[in-house]
Amino acid sequence: MTAVTATSLAAAPEPRLWSNQVRGFALDSLQDQEALSVVAIPLNGPGIEQYVNADQLMSPGSIMKVLTTYAALELLGPNYRWETRFLTDGVLEGDRLKGNLYVRFSGDPKLTIERTWAVVRELRGMGIRHIEGDLILDASVFILPDGIPGFDDNGSNRYAPFLVEPSAVLTNLNLLHLQVRSDERGTQAWSTPAIESVAIDNRVTAAAEGPCPARSDFTWTPAFHDDGRVTVKVTGELPAGCRSTTYLSLIPHEQYSAELIRSLWKETGGTFTGNWRKAITPDDARLLASTSSPDLVTMVRDINKWSSNVMARQLLLAIGAEKRKDDDNDDRVSGIQAIYHWLEQKGITTAGMVIDNGSGLSRHERMSARQMSQILQHAWNSPYGSDLVTSMPLIAMDGTMTRRLRNTGMDGLGRIKTGYLQDVRSVAGFSRDNQNTTWAVVGIVNHDPAWNGQAVLDKVLHSLHYTPPLGTALSQAD
């Protein structure tokens, strides 16, 4: 940290009790000073470190992803990739594959429909049209004997994208993109991908041209059948030329991935004679094709910019699978232990810290603002620090900060990871003040209700930019 010079002190305004301002924000908006924890530390210029309730263990929300992604960059390396392999135990005869098609999954956080389609096209390009065997999903990359601890969401939509759980066989984030459009023919509804077991019951009525309605004006209601099929009824009124969309996760990962692959194969003119099932790929299976993910840096950017829970949870499992010891039998636990060990090697205290799934989508995860600030300080000096910093949303410009602190003159002057959970609001990242000093800043609100918490944290960021604590040690908090 750069020392405060005599020149900077002379040029500074009157001493500001900045930490008292922060406490005032909490008291005014939350009526509870203890509901807010804040740490602000100057990294490359003058300033006085600030601590408000810094050692109070808090539910961090999605700023936990900062820890998971930073740990992954150092433990796995920025060029780490996931490879999904398509193999067979059969033989090729003309345009027929006489045998099973195995998909050995790698736990790829972002095996998209586009990448899956590219592999299908490659197989078709090899002259294969008919597969006379089963589609077999190999999920052996992860060891999870007790499954994944669930998250008790008390919201109104348990099929929402943010609730998708991790899986070795995750494809396309396990999401269905449901759309309905109105034109001169009436209304048409469809799903991408076109999953065989999902049907849409379109009850949307066409209307004359006019302003397009909001998504909230439409209701998508799934009905689940005993045979594993799902019917989604959509209702509403849609003017000509308009469309409405939603994303839902409706079927288990294995069923989704199998039906996605079979659907793409069918769309390219291929046929399958067998069914799908889960099994281990035999040792003598031959490789036909594969797809490799973008590098970890790209994945980290997607996770932090848009706060993807399932991708962060996949990342924790990947750390566990890579760092698993001979006597380990649960990759989630192995990933957590690897991160704790890594933190302790850096001298960051883990006392009281609880890592549950690495995404912040948890009622159990705990961390203090001081602990997160230490993580940010180490990241600032890490060889991969720039990769982490650039993965965070820019204030008022992109990601989850797109609409925050607009019209304040702070556009692009901070890279802030946000957190949002019931009774939790949080921020963590790097913000530049009006003297061009970059600060590591952490703010966590735990309060029932926390709906004012976002405004409080925006005030903290605004104050740190325009009235940074530069004056004297009087502005140092306890």
Q: Is the pLDDT of residue 297 over 90?
A: yes
Q: What is the mean pLDDT of residues 427-432?
A: 98
pLDDT band with cut points at 50, 70 and 90 for residue 4? very low
**Cβ proximity of 416 and 431 under 8 Å:** yes
**Least-confidence region, from 110-119, 204-213, 290-299, 463-472:** 463-472
Half-sphere exposure of 269 (CA within 13 A, CB side): 9
What span, in angstroms and rounded, lies between the C-alpha atoms of 408 and 430?
Answer: 17
For tokens 């060990």, name the residue.
341
Q: What percent of the chain has pLDDT over 70?
A: 95
The reported pLDDT for the residue numbered 153 is 81
Phi first, then psi: what are they for 303, rounded to 5°? -65, -50
Strand residues in 36-134 grouped as ranges (E)? 36-42, 50-52, 83-88, 91-93, 96-98, 101-104, 130-131
Per-residue pLDDT, 12? 38
Q: Is the dihedral of CA 144, 314, 157, 229 positive or negative?
A: negative
pLDDT band for 17, please (50, 70, 90 cuts): confident
CB 434 within 8 A of CB 408: no
Are the C-beta atoms of residues 427 and 416 closer than 8 Å to each other?
yes
Q: Return the DSSP state at 300.
A: H
* pLDDT attached to residue 142: 98
Beta bridge pairs of residue 58: 367
Copy the structure tokens of residue 183: 């034109």
Higher pLDDT, 412 or 451: 412
Task: Supply 351's token pair.
Answer: 């006392």
Smallest CA-to-CA distance from 398 within 408, 411, 383 is with 411
Angle between helices 331-345 and 64-75 in degrees, nearest 10 = 80
Strand order in the sheet with 414-421: 50-52, 36-42, 438-446, 424-432, 414-421
End-to-end CA distance of the chain: give it in Å, rounded. Answer: 19
pLDDT band at residue 323 under the 50/70/90 scheme: very high
pLDDT, tens digit (0-9, with 9 covering 90-100), for 200-240: 999 999 999 999 999 999 999 999 999 999 999 999 999 99
pTM of the predicted model as reported, rounded to 2 decimal places:
0.93
Phi, psi of 314 (to 5 degrees): -60, -40
Strand partners, 291: 84
What's the confidence (pLDDT) of residue 156? 73
What local confidence, expressed as pLDDT, does residue 154 receive? 74
Mean pLDDT of 348-377: 97
pLDDT band at 443 (very low <50, low <70, confident <90, very high): very high
In this predicted structure, the answer to whether residue 275 has a pLDDT above a threshold of 50 is yes
Cα–Cα distance measured from residue 236 to residue 216, given in angstroms and rounded to the nearest whole number: 10
Q: How far apart are CA 368 and CA 352, in angstroms?
A: 8
Dump pLDDT digits (tens) for 408-417. 999 999 999 9
Q: What is the mean pLDDT of residues 425-442?
A: 97
pLDDT digits (tens, 9 = 90+) for 109-164: 999 999 999 999 999 999 999 999 999 999 999 999 999 998 988 777 899 999 99
**Cα–Cα distance measured from residue 67 to residue 45, given in angstroms and rounded to the nearest whole number:** 25
β-strands 176-183, 186-192 pairing = antiparallel
**Mean pLDDT of all residues in 247-253:** 98
